[in-house]
Amino acid sequence: MFDFTHDGHVHTPFCPHGTKDPLEQYIQVGIENGLQTITFTEHAPFPASFIDPVPNRDSAMSIDLLPDYLDTLHQIKKQYQAVIDIKVGLEVDLLPHLEKETIALLKPFAPLLDEVILSQHFLYVDGTYMPIDYSAETFDELVSALGSFENVMKAYYESIEQGLAFSWKDIRVARIGHLDLPIKYQKNYDWKRSEVKKEEERLLQVIADRGFGLDFNTAGLRKPDCGEPYIAGLAKAASELHIPFTLGSDAHLAKDVGADFDMIAQKKATFL
């Protein structure tokens, strides 16, 4: 079920809200942690009509940097081919109402991509895009706007379900990222997963029907208000639908590549 030699969700110095740790450092840490494959998945550029709602507007790299990013990764892939398998990827935002524009923007680059993660970081609420994981304060604004933590979870699942109707495989989407991202702040709220079970089950069935995998994302373990991997609470239901998982550290720092994979290996039975 888990391949502990593959980190399928790793960021790079091209991330405007990450660090400038060099790619070589990310790769070296991965090798030291026993990885045989790393998929680099930098935040893909947004369509021109989308205005990033976070204060620094630094959620993704610009379209001007995308060719350089791809060229750099292909050089690194070739340089390390005898040592470790480098896969060239992106983390693409599922932006409600801008799905077609996103696919059209990135489709010309698809032949240069090995695999892509599709993730949602914003919800569209009353005509406004609101960030999900920027900060505890902005997330609380989202909870206030929708009425409860459970309502945020339901809206998140429903938005992804609707978005999956588009042609994501045209841009090499292989799996869905951190499927329950709002739990990043779950310790700040008294909520019950049982109240969103219907929406979870419906979305997992859509994912299974569309043939996508899931990002089993260990970054949640490093978030103080979360305390568990993203999709840990969904893993059993997903496995029953034969949805494949790919472990991902979601590393924005070189030291986090392959982070917590040993813990997942030791406790995998508790997730499934």
Residue 191 region by backbone torsions, left for phi larger than 0, else alpha for psi between -120 and 50, else beta: beta
With 0-12 CB in 10 A as exposed, 13-18 as middle and 19+ as buried, what is 178? buried
Q: How many residues does the chain have?
A: 272
Q: pLDDT per residue over 62-93, tens digit each?
A: 999 999 999 999 999 999 999 999 999 999 99
Tokens of 203: 């979305």
CB-CB contact of 142 with 152 (8 Å): yes
Tens-place pLDDT, residues 10-52 = 999 999 998 999 999 999 999 999 999 999 999 999 999 999 9
Q: How many Å apart are CA 11 and CA 26, to the nearest integer?
A: 9
pTM metric for this prediction: 0.97
Sign of CA dihedral 114, 117, 122, 125: positive
Give, for 163, the enclosing helix (H) or strand (E): helix 149-163
198 neighbors 158 (Cβ within 8 angstroms): no
Residue 1 has what pLDDT? 77
Q: What letter does residue 2 receive in the DSSP assignment?
A: -
The position carrying tokens 């790919």 is: 246
Phi, then psi, of 126 in degrees rounded to 5: 50, 45
pLDDT tens figures, 190-237? 999 999 999 999 999 999 999 999 999 999 999 999 999 999 999 999
The residues with which 86 forms a beta bridge, in sequence order, are 38
The pair of three-digit structure tokens given for residue 256, joined into one six-digit string: 């986090």
